C-alpha cells in the first residue's frame, strides 16, 4: 500500500471482519479467547524477529509442556528461514531433544551460515570503507544501512543499532531521516531500550514532510509501547487510540492491529474518566475498527461504561491467562487489572447514599469480606468518600449535607446583599449632601 492511499474503516472491516478466511478468523480469536491459546494463529499475526521472540516468551512463561514444545517447534521452523545461528542454538538447547530427530542440532546448517555470514560481513565492511574514502554521502549511507541490516538479521542488535544511527550524518532527504529513525526504533524495541524508542519517535515526528499515514501510525504504536513500558498508561492509551486505520498489517514485525485494540482498550479503562472513555474510545470511529478485531475487549469496554461490572470483570478474567503470555503486556496486567477494578468499585458507589455490601459483592463476584477490605483501602486512600457499617454490612456515602449547605449559601448571599445596599445608601447620602465638594471649598 502506498503512503498516499486512504484506507477507510470499512476496508479494515472487510479485511478482518467480513472478508477474512478461516485462518484470519482464527487469528482474530487467538489472543482473546478464554480457551487455551492457539499458538499457530497467534504467531500468524506477526513476522520477523518479534514472531520468534513472542514464541520463545510463550515457551518460557507457559507451564503447559505441550504448549511449550509447540511454541519451540514453531520458533525452530521460523529461525531456519533466516540466518540467526546464535538464536537457533539457543532454541535447540531449550528443545533438548524432546521433539525428535527433526528438531535436533543442525551443525552443518549453522557452520554453512556462519561461514557465509563472515564473508558477507567482510564484503560489506570493505565496500563501506571504499565509499568513505570516496566521500560519496549516499553510498556511505547505504553502506551503513546494509551493514545494519546484516547485523539485525544475525541477532547482533547492538551493532545493528550503531550502524543505523551512523547513517544520520549522511541523510540528505526527509525520507532518509525517517528511514533511519524507523530502523533505530525497530532495533530499540527488540533490545527493550524504550528510551531510545521515544527519542527516535520524536526525531521522526520533527520531520513531518517525510511522513505518510502508515508511518505516522507506526510511530503512534512505537510511542504507545514506550509509554506502556514506562507505566505511563494514560499516555500509552492516547497513542494507541490515535493510531490510524492505515496500519492494517504494515507493522507486524513489531505489533498486530489486535494488540493496538488490547493495549489501548485496557490502558484507557485503567486511566480515563467516564467522559474520556465515551469520547476517545467508544465514539472514536478509527479505534472502533481495531476493537472490532477483538470483540472481547470491545464488549468489556462497553460493559464498563454501561456499569455492567460483573460482565466486564468476567471478560477480564477470561482474558488474563493469555494476556500474561504477551511479551509487552505481561508485566502490566496485574497493575492495569487493579486500576480497572478500583475504578469500577468507585463508580459503583457514586450514585448511592448507602450500598448493601452483600449485593455489591454479588455484582463483583467476590466475598463480602474481600470486598470490605478493598473498600477500606480505597476509603483510606481517599478515593471513596464513605464509611462502612461492619455489623450491618452497609457502605454509607459521606455526601455533604445539602440542606445545611443551602441554608449557608442563603445566609452568605443575604450578608453580601446587606453590605452592598449599605454601601449604595452611604454613597447616595454623600452625593446628596455634596460632601466632597464642601470639603474641597473649605480647603
Q: Are 355 and 349 in contact (CB under 8 A)?
A: yes
CA-wise closest residue to 26 among 15, 14, 39? 39
Q: By residue range, what is the domain housing residue 431?
A: 412-442
- 336: confidence class by pLDDT, cuts 50, 70, 90: very high
In a domain, 312, yes or no: no
pLDDT band at 402 (very low <50, low <70, confident <90, very high): low
- Average pLDDT along the chain: 86
More confident residue, 7 or 312: 312
The stretch 288-316 carries a mean pLDDT of 91
With a cut of 90, say whether residue 408 has pLDDT above it: no
Q: How far apart are CA 298 and CA 285, in angstroms?
A: 13
**Residue 42 located in a structural domain:** no
List pLDDT tens digits, range 133-163: 888 889 999 999 999 999 999 999 999 999 9
Residue 362 lies inside a defined structural domain of this protein: yes
- The pTM (predicted TM-score) of the whole model is 0.79
Query: Do the domain assignments include residue 76?
Result: no
Residue 436 falls inside a structural domain: yes
Alpha carbon distance 121, 140 (integer Å): 15
In contact, 309 and 348? CB cutoff 8 Å: yes
Contact indicator for 105, 92 with CB cutoff of 8 Å: yes
As a whole number of angstroms, the distance between CA 309 and CA 343 comes to 10
148 vs 443, which has greater pLDDT? 148
pLDDT band at 405 (very low <50, low <70, confident <90, very high): low
In this prediction, residues 110-131 reach a mean pLDDT of 93
Q: How many angstroms separate the CA atoms of 205 and 203, rounded? A: 6
Asked if residue 316 is part of any domain, the answer here is: no
- Same-domain pairing of 392 and 359: yes
Q: CATH code at 363? A: 1.10.10.10
Say if 385 falls within a structural domain: yes
Compute the distance between CA of residue 41 and CA of residue 61 in angstroms, rounded to an integer. Answer: 18
Q: How confident is the model at residue 256 (pLDDT cuts 50, 70, 90)?
A: very high
- Assess whether 417 and 393 both reside in one domain: no
Does residue 367 surpass a pLDDT of 70?
Answer: yes
Domain count, the chain: 2
Contacts within 8 Å (CB) and 24+ apart, 313-322: 313/341, 313/344, 313/364, 313/365, 314/365, 316/340, 318/34, 319/32, 319/34, 321/34, 321/37, 322/31, 322/32, 322/33, 322/37
Q: What is the pLDDT of residue 209?
A: 85
Quote the pLDDT of residue 35: 55
Q: Is the pLDDT of residue 115 over 90?
A: yes
Strand-pair partners of 394: 356, 389
Pairing type for strands 394-397 and 386-389 reads antiparallel
According to DSSP, the residues that pair with 395 across neighbouring strands are: 355, 388
Considering only residues 377 and 201, tell me which one the structure prediction assigns the higher pLDDT. Answer: 201
4 pLDDT higher than 60: no
Supply φ then ψ for residue 255, to 5 degrees.
Answer: -150, 145
What pLDDT does residue 30 have? 45
Contact 45, 256 (CB under 8 A): yes
* Residue 428 falls inside a structural domain: yes
Amino acid at each position: 500500500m502506498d503512503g498516499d492511499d486512504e484506507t477507510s474503516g470499512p476496508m479494515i472491516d472487510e479485511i478482518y471482519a467480513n472478508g477474512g478466511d478461516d485462518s484470519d478468523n482464527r487469528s482474530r480469536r487467538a489472543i482473546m479467547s478464554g480457551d487455551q491459546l492457539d499458538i499457530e494463529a497467534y504467531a500468524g499475526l506477526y513476522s520477523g524477529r518479534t514472531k520468534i521472540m513472542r514464541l520463545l516468551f510463550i515457551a518460557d512463561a507457559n507451564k503447559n509442556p505441550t504448549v511449550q514444545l509447540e511454541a519451540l517447534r514453531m520458533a525452530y521452523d521460523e529461525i531456519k528461514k533466516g540466518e540467526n545461528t546464535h538464536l537457533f542454538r539457543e532454541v535447540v538447547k531449550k528443545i533438548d531433544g524432546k521433539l525428535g530427530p527433526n528438531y535436533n542440532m543442525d551443525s552443518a546448517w549453522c557452520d554453512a551460515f556462519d561461514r557465509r555470514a563472515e564473508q558477507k560481513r567482510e564484503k560489506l565492511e570493505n565496500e563501506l570503507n571504499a565509499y568513505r574514502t570516496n566521500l560519496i554521502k549516499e553510498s556511505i549511507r547505504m553502506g551503513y544501512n546494509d551493514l545494519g541490516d546484516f547485523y539485525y538479521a544475525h541477532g547482533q542488535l547492538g551493532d545493528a543499532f550503531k550502524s543505523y544511527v551512523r547513517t544520520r550524518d549522511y541523510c540528505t532527504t526527509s525520507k532518509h531521516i525517517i528511514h533511519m529513525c524507523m530502523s533505530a526504533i525497530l532495533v530499540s524495541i527488540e533490545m527493550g531500550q524504550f528510551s531510545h524508542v521515544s527519542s527516535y519517535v520524536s526525531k521522526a515526528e520533527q520531520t513531518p514532510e517525510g511522513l505518510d499515514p502508515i508511518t505516522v501510525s507506526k510511530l503512534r504504536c512505537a510511542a504507545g509501547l514506550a509509554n506502556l513500558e514506562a507505566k505511563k498508561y494514560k499516555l500509552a492509551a492516547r497513542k494507541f487510540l490515535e493510531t490510524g486505520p492505515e496500519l492494517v498489517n504494515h507493522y507486524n514485525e513489531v505489533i498486530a492491529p489486535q494488540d493496538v485494540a488490547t493495549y489501548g482498550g485496557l490502558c484507557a479503562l485503567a486511566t480515563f474518566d467516564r467522559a474520556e472513555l465515551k469520547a476517545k474510545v467508544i465514539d472514536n470511529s478509527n479505534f472502533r475498527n481495531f476493537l472490532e478485531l477483538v470483540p472481547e475487549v470491545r464488549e468489556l469496554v462497553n460493559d464498563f461504561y454501561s456499569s455492567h461490572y460483573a460482565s466486564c470483570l468476567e471478560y477480564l478474567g477470561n482474558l488474563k491467562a493469555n494476556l500474561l503470555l504477551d511479551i509487552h503486556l505481561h508485566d502490566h496486567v496485574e497493575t492495569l487489572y487493579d486500576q480497572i477494578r478500583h475504578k469500577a468499585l468507585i463508580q459503583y458507589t457514586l450514585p448511592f447514599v448507602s450500598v448493601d455490601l452483600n449485593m455489591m459483592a454479588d455484582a463483583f463476584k467476590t466475598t463480602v469480606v474481600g470486598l470490605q477490605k478493598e473498600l477500606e483501602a480505597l476509603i483510606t486512600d481517599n478515593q471513596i468518600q464513605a464509611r462502612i457499617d461492619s455489623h450491618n454490612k452497609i457502605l454509607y456515602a459521606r455526601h455533604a449535607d445539602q440542606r445545611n449547605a443551602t441554608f449557608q449559601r442563603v445566609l452568605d448571599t443575604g450578608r453580601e446583599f446587606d453590605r452592598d445596599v449599605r454601601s449604595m445608601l452611604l454613597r447616595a447620602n454623600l452625593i446628596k449632601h455634596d460632601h466632597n465638594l464642601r470639603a474641597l471649598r473649605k480647603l
